């Protein structure tokens, strides 16, 4: 879910090695184009087509940091149904969460212990009612052994895709969604005593933080 390559550009500017993966070949080309500028750095950035649900090219506990920004269901469709497996083609929140969970398991596997995975995710609406997609995704991360380190609320203003909802928002009397959630998760250390962070995680075998 490398998108247009913004994270990889920052890697280059900050002299960090980076690998971008996206299921959409157009996104891969956009990322390569974004990286094509003169800047002296010893670091290396690469991007290729792939699927977060299958990161078999990476060994267990080998990645230092994961930054990802998945689509929010089909709020913006990036391949118009032409790419099998594209998460932006999914209309059902349940189906979306089931598929993103496969990616969560892979991200957990490849991430080094005591390192971080950051995901930027927004919410949506159905039938003029709020759908807290970000909270569903948060739950999936916690159910798969990640620990929540931080939540950062990112405000959005003058977004192209927000403006198309103005007329409907006035007609059906609902607010525009003008924020996203940046969740930062930590992978626990091997045999770490987790009692001190018990309110930031879901214990193994449980369904939620509180009963």
Residue 102, burial from CB neighbour count under 10 angstroms (0-12, 13-18, 19+): middle
- Our CA dihedral for 89, 78, 186, 152, rounded to 10 degrees, sits at -110
In a domain, 84, yes or no: yes
Instruction: Give residue 61's domain range.
Output: 51-200
Number of domains the chain is built from: 1
Predicted confidence (pLDDT) per residue in 51-65, tens digit: 999 999 999 999 999
In a domain, 67, yes or no: yes
Tell me how many degrees the CA angle 110-116-120 measures, rounded to the nearest 5.
100
Q: Indicate whether 29 belongs to any domain.
A: no
- Does residue 21 lie within any of the structural domains? no
CATH number at residue 179: 3.40.50.150
DSSP string covering 125-180: EETTEEE-HHHHHHHHHHHTT-EEEEEEEEE--S-HHHHTTHHHHHHHT-----EE
Based on its alpha-carbon atoms, the radius of gyration of the chain, rounded to whole angstroms, reads 18
Strand-pair category, 18-22 with 124-126: unpaired
Q: Does the pLDDT at position 208 exceed 90?
A: no
Is 170 within the bounds of a domain? yes
At 125-164, the pLDDT tens digits run 888 899 999 999 999 999 999 999 999 999 987 777 667 7
28 Cβ neighbours under 8 A, 6+ residues apart = 2, 20, 22, 47, 48, 49
Tell me, yes or no, whether 24 lies in a domain: no
Asked if residue 191 belongs to a domain, the reply is: yes
Residue 115 in any domain: the answer is: yes
pLDDT for the residue 72 = 82
Q: pTM of the predicted model, to two decimals?
A: 0.92
Q: 125 - beta bridge partners?
A: 130
Find the DSSP H helices in 36-155: 93-110, 133-143
| Confidence (pLDDT) at 156 | 83
At 45 the pLDDT is 97
């Amino acid at each position: 879910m490398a998108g247009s390559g913004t994270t990889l550009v920052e890697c280059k500017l900050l002299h960090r090695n980076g690998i971008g993966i996206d299921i959409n070949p157009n996104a891969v080309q956009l990322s390569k184009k974004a990286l094509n500028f003169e800047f002296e750095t010893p670091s290396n950035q690469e991007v290729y087509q792939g699927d977060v649900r299958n990161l078999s090219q990476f060994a267990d506990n080998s990645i230092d940091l994961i930054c990802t920004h998945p689509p929010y269901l089909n709020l913006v469709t990036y391949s118009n149904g032409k790419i099998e497996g594209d998460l932006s083609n999914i209309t059902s929140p349940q189906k979306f969460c089931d598929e993103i969970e496969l990616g969560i398991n892979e991200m957990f596997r490849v991430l080094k212990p005591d390192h971080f995975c950051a995901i930027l995710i927004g919410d949506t609406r159905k039938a003029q009612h709020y759908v807290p997609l970000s909270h569903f995704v948060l739950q999936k991360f916690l159910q798969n052994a990640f620990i929540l380190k931080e939540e950062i609320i990112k405000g959005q203003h003058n977004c192209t895709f927000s403006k198309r909802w103005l007329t409907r928002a006035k007609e059906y009397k609902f607010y525009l969604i003008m924020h996203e959630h940046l969740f930062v998760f930590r992978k626990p250390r091997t045999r770490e005593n987790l009692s001190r962070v018990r309110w930031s995680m879901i214990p193994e075998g449980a369904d939620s933080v509180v009963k």
